[in-house]
A and B are shown apart, each in its own frame.
Chain A
Amino acid sequence: NAGVTQTPKFQVLKTGQSMTLQCAQDMNHNSMYWYRQDPGMGLRLIYYSASEGTTDKGEVPNGYNVSRLNKREFSLRLESAAPSQTSVYFCATRDLINIQYFGAGTRLSVL
């Protein structure tokens, strides 16, 4: 079992470019989350999906969109990247007793 898989691992964008971060899980969990991690600020929730077909905004949703394609996949899209979106992005899933499992992360630089 791979757990939570994120692609790509690294990405460099120019300001204004778009991209989609992919997340897939094989843990059969209903809930999935996208966080960003910046130095000294911990992890902040961008968007989450409590179940297939539903998505909701977290603490810092501006500049992002998400799609819960099916139970396994939850993608994060940056339509027009900005330098302020330079960060490490983590996808996570949650099991029935509330434990969250994280992917390996995507390191994104926006120049």
Chain B
Amino acid sequence: GENVEQHPSTLSVQEGDSAVIKCTYSDSASNYFPWYKQELGKRPQLIIDIRSNVGEKKDQRIAVTLNKTAKHFSLHITETQPEDSAVYFCAASTGSARQLTFGSGTQLTVLP
């Protein structure tokens, strides 16, 4: 089955700096890669996603890049703000029912 590895597990940045979270996947058949943000005690919320026919996607301060050859994808957050503090999960979608395999999460802390 699919295996998704996510690094780092914790990340602290100063407000205004950039944050980068990286994920690798194992199944070359995976073709959809979402990123979810989860605040404490809340449900995961989709923040951005990328499909395998695209190398990069940007939405305001958030961008995701995908390297299919190397089987890795990354989340980039620029001009970080305290409200960006949360746990971020990457995932890869595969299988006939397009089930998601999640990474283990990154606790991002933005220091004021």
Give chain A's interface residues, CB within 8 Å of chain B: 31, 33, 35, 40-45, 48, 50, 56, 58-59, 90, 94, 98-105
Contact = CB atoms under 8 A, between A and B. Distances in A.
Given A40-B9, A100-B46, A103-B43, A45 B99 contact: yes
Nearest to B100: A100
Given A98-B32, A99-B49, A105 B43 contact: yes
A36 B98 CA distance: 17
Contacts of A98: 32, 34, 93, 98
A50 B99 CA distance: 9
Interface of B: 1, 6, 9, 32, 34, 42-46, 49, 89, 93, 96-105
A59 B34 CA distance: 19
Given A98-B32, A98-B93, A100-B34, A42 B43 contact: no
A86 B44 CA distance: 19
A50 to B, nearest CB: 4
Contacts of B99: 33, 45, 48, 58
Given A31-B97, A56-B97, A99 B46 contact: yes
Given A31-B98, A99-B49, A42 B9 contact: no
A90 B43 contact: yes
B1 A59 contact: yes
26 contacts: A31-B97, A31-B98, A33-B100, A35-B102, A40-B104, A40-B105, A41-B104, A42-B6, A42-B104, A43-B89, A45-B100, A45-B101, A48-B97, A50-B96, A50-B97, A90-B43, A90-B44, A94-B97, A98-B98, A100-B34, A100-B100, A101-B46, A102-B43, A102-B45, A103-B43, A105-B43
